[in-house]
Every structure is written in structure tokens, then in C-alpha cells.
């Protein structure tokens, strides 16, 4: 089976990923045969994963997803089992060792074409459905934040980020590491316009979680760092748009907006730091503008 390798390869350039990608066609056929599935369309590739439309032995439409074994999505199956289709795509079968999931077939449309502010409403609505006590197997968000804090603390002053924003993020991280509310809730961590799809009845559901045991207030950040280009260069428009996105997400999702703002600033700085390392100067500049728009009163 031909595999569209280019989108897949955006996830990683490691030797392990190259080996996985080379063996992917055989893996697809192996899992498909074992599970009694037949192809029902062309595969769709995203960074690090492949989705193949299939039908099972009873002619039920489904999607076979195979993903590279990185840490972020290692417990996707556990989160989907925990949600059991409530606010998230239904998982029909799983082989965690091979990172193979059989999922209900959803519509192709996501929220990428919706007005960004209006799209925040269904995403915020999913928070109440998805946020519940976390399974004990999940990694604690406080451990992740501790790693962020240590990494940011080691940054040289010429790292390409305004030092004031780095210091602000360090201050936020120091408080969150010690806060009991940082852990304990099952969080998706990557909810945005492209990871929310619709069922045939129009219901919005989450896909592609990268779950942690965390704080619901960490969730809004990806909705701010995606689709920043369409806002343009006007500082006033950027400030209004980003603050409105955050306000709507917090209001609909039942979040404390100030705590959500702190989490958003921290996650944006961490993302900007990673992109600076990758040489993505345009996006780093945009993220710095977004951080200032959200953080400043």
C-alpha cells in the first residue's frame, strides 16, 4: 500500500522514526488482516500517524489509525477508553504495543474553516465532557512543568526570546509545580481546530489526545497558537482576537480565566523556545506577540 510519507515525516527525523516509516505498509496490512478489516478509501497522513478508512467484517465503517511510538500519544488508547465516546472519538479496538487503534468513522470536516472565535465554543464545550479524574497510569503534568522550568532556567540570554517573558514563565512554572491542582484531571493537551471533528449527527468530538494527569486550565493554549497568521499584523486586532479566544474558551469551559491565562503564557513560552531551537523565527516572533497580547493587562 502506498503511504504518503511527507506529512508523516514532519513529526521526526530520528532513525527510529525512519525504521517505523519503512515498515508501516507491512504493519498496516498485518493489523488489517488480523482484525478482519478491508480498505474503504485512501489513507490520510498527519505528522506521525496514518489513518486508513476501513470496514469490518459486519460492514461497519471505521478508521484504522497507526501512530509512531512517541511519548506524547503513548496513552491515547487509555484516554479514549476512559472517555468511552463521551466528547471524544469512540475507540472500537486497540493494540497499544503496535500503537494501532480502530476508531469510529467521523466526518472529514474539522474546525479549521470556522470563524476562530466561534470555533472556541465547541472546543470549550468539550472541556466539561473530557475533564474527569485521571487514570493513575498517566504522567503527571507537574513532572512535565518541572522539565519546562529546568529547561527555561538554563537558557542563555541570547536564546532568541525576550528575557522578561522567560522570567515570567519561570515564575508561573515555579508556582504550578507546587500546586496540587496541577495534577489529577484527565486532560487532552492538544485540543485545537484540527483535532475536533464531527459525528454524522453534527456532534463535535475530540480526536488525537496527548493525555496527561493535569489541570484543565492548561487546555486553551493550542487554540491561541494555531491560526495566528489569519489575524494579520495589526497589534490591536491581535490583542483583541487572542484575548477573546481565551475569554470564550474559559467562559464556555467553566475555567478561571486568570489561571487559564497563566497556563497559556507558560505553554506559549515553552513552544516559542522549541521553535527558536528549530530556527522558526517567523513563528517565534508571532508567539512573542501573542504572549504579550495575552499577558499584559
With the C-alpha atoms ordered 171, 238, 276, 147, is the resulting torsion angle positive or negative?
positive
Question: Of the listed 190, 208, 215, 256, which one is catalytic?
Answer: 190
Which H or E run includes 168? Answer: helix 163-177
Contact call for residues 107 and 53 (beta carbons, < 8 A): no
Other CB atoms closer than 10 Å to residue 184's CB: what's the count? 17
* Beta bridge pairs of residue 93: 102
Q: Would you state the cell numbers that stand for residue 170, as one nine-digit string?
A: 519561570
What separation in angstroms does the CA of 296 have from each of 202, 270, 284?
37, 18, 18
Residue 50: strand pairing partners? 45, 66
Task: For residues 233 and 282, give the distance between their C-alpha atoms in angstroms, rounded to a whole number.
Answer: 12
C-alpha span between 126 and 135 (Å, rounded)? 19
Residue 2 CB coordination number (10 Å): 7
How far is C-alpha 263 from the chain's CA centre? 15
Single out the residue of 221, 223, 211, 206 nearest to residue 73, CA to CA.
Answer: 211
206: nearest Cα among 98, 125, 141: 125
- In the annotation, is 190 catalytic? yes
Relative to beta strand 185-187, strand 38-39 is unpaired
Q: Which residue has the cell 465532557?
A: 129
- Report residue 154 as a C-alpha cell: 538554563
Which residues are known catalytic residues? 190
Amino acid at each position: 500500500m502506498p503511504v504518503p510519507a511527507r506529512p508523516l515525516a514532519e513529526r521526526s527525523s530520528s532513525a527510529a522514526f525512519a525504521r517505523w516509516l519503512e515498515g508501516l505498509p507491512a504493519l498496516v496490512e498485518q493489523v488489517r488482516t488480523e482484525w478482519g478489516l478491508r480498505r474503504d478509501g485512501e489513507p490520510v497522513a498527519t505528522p506521525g500517524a496514518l489513518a486508513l478508512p476501513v470496514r469490518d467484517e459486519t460492514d461497519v465503517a471505521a478508521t484504522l489509525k497507526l501512530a509512531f511510538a512517541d511519548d506524547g500519544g503513548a496513552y491515547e488508547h487509555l484516554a479514549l477508553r476512559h472517555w468511552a465516546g463521551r466528547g471524544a472519538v469512540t475507540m472500537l479496538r486497540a493494540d497499544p504495543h503496535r500503537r494501532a487503534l480502530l476508531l469510529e468513522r467521523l466526518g472529514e470536516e474539522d474546525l479549521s474553516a470556522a470563524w476562530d472565535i466561534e470555533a472556541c465554543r465547541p472546543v470549550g464545550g468539550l472541556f466539561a465532557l473530557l475533564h474527569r479524574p485521571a487514570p493513575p497510569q498517566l504522567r503527571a503534568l507537574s513532572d512535565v512543568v518541572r522539565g519546562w522550568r529546568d529547561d527555561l532556567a538554563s537558557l542563555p540570554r541570547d536564546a532568541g526570546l525576550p528575557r522578561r517573558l522567560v522570567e515570567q514563565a519561570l515564575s508561573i512554572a515555579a508556582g504550578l509545580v507546587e500546586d496540587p491542582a496541577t495534577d489529577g484531571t484527565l486532560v487532552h493537551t492538544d485540543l485545537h481546530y484540527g483535532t475536533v471533528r464531527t459525528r454524522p449527527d453534527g456532534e463535535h468530538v475530540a480526536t488525537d489526545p496527548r493525555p496527561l494527569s493535569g489541570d484543565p486550565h492548561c487546555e486553551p493554549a493550542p487554540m491561541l497558537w494555531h491560526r495566528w497568521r489569519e489575524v494579520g499584523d495589526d497589534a490591536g486586532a491581535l490583542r483583541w482576537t487572542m484575548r477573546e479566544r481565551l475569554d470564550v474558551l474559559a467562559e464556555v469551559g467553566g475555567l478561571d480565566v486568570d489561571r487559564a491565562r497563566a497556563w497559556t503564557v507558560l505553554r506559549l513560552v515553552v513552544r516559542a523556545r522549541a521553535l527558536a531551537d528549530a530556527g522558526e523565527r517567523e513563528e517565534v516572533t508571532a508567539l512573542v506577540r501573542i504572549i504579550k497580547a495575552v499577558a499584559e493587562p
